[in-house]
Amino acid sequence: MISPLDVRNQVFKKMFRGYDADEVRIFLDAVADRMEDMIKAKEDLERENAVLKEKNKSFTEIETSLRDTMVTAQRICDESKVAAQREADNIVRQAELEAKSKVANVSGDLDHLARQRQTTRAETMAFIAKLKSLLEGHLSFLGSIEREVREDPAGQPSAEEERAEV
């Protein structure tokens, strides 16, 4: 995998009628900067994802604890008077609503993270397409330069090229 440092340290050999070295360096620096930004964004998303996973784990433990509490509450309710039964039912309903609310919040956070991931992926693909187009343009330009170099000053192919064509 190419790192931003690899892009910054890339050295091209100099050729007659080559690219402007300053423009190439500026472009490579811009590509390296964008790569660094994307790597940082990815790392931020991974950290955020880890935090959300930890929260989800915590909520799962709370949900397990609530289920255990509900079983205990049910056993106590069976042994209690009718008034205690009503109070236990209210506690269980309230606990279920809180658990559902917390689970819904975590689900919303995960959906948001997934949308951010999709956006980052789309931006990356657009960047790749732009870079590919730019490189194809440069290759076309190099092809035209190569054709010019192969022709002699009068615009005629050299004797060697004519023999090669025959």
What confidence tens digit (pLDDT) does each residue in 15-64 have?
777 787 888 889 888 999 999 999 999 999 999 999 999 999 999 999 99
Helices 82-150 and 21-79 pack at an angle, to 10 degrees, of 170
Q: How far is the C-alpha of 90 from the C-alpha of 62, rounded, in Å?
A: 18
The tokens describing 110, both together, are 């995960």
Indicate the DSSP class of residue 157.
Answer: B
Residue 142: Cβ within 10 Å count: 13
- Cα gap 63→69, rounded to integer Å: 10
For residue 154, the 8-state DSSP code is T
Tell me the β-bridge partners of 157: 151
Structural Rg of the chain based on CA atoms: 33
Phi, psi (deg, nearest 5) at residue 157 = -65, 150
Most confidently predicted of 4-13, 51-60, 68-77, 106-115: 51-60
Percentage above 90 pLDDT, the chain? 46
- Average pLDDT of the chain to the nearest whole number: 86
The confidence score (pLDDT) of residue 16 equals: 74
CA 8 to CA 120: how far, in whole Å? Answer: 23
Could you tell me the pTM of the whole model? 0.35
CA distance 28 to 6: 10
Measure CA of the first residue to CA of the last residue in the chain; give whole Å. Answer: 45
Of 10, 44, 49, 2, the closest CA to residue 29 belongs to 10
Per-residue pLDDT at 162: 62
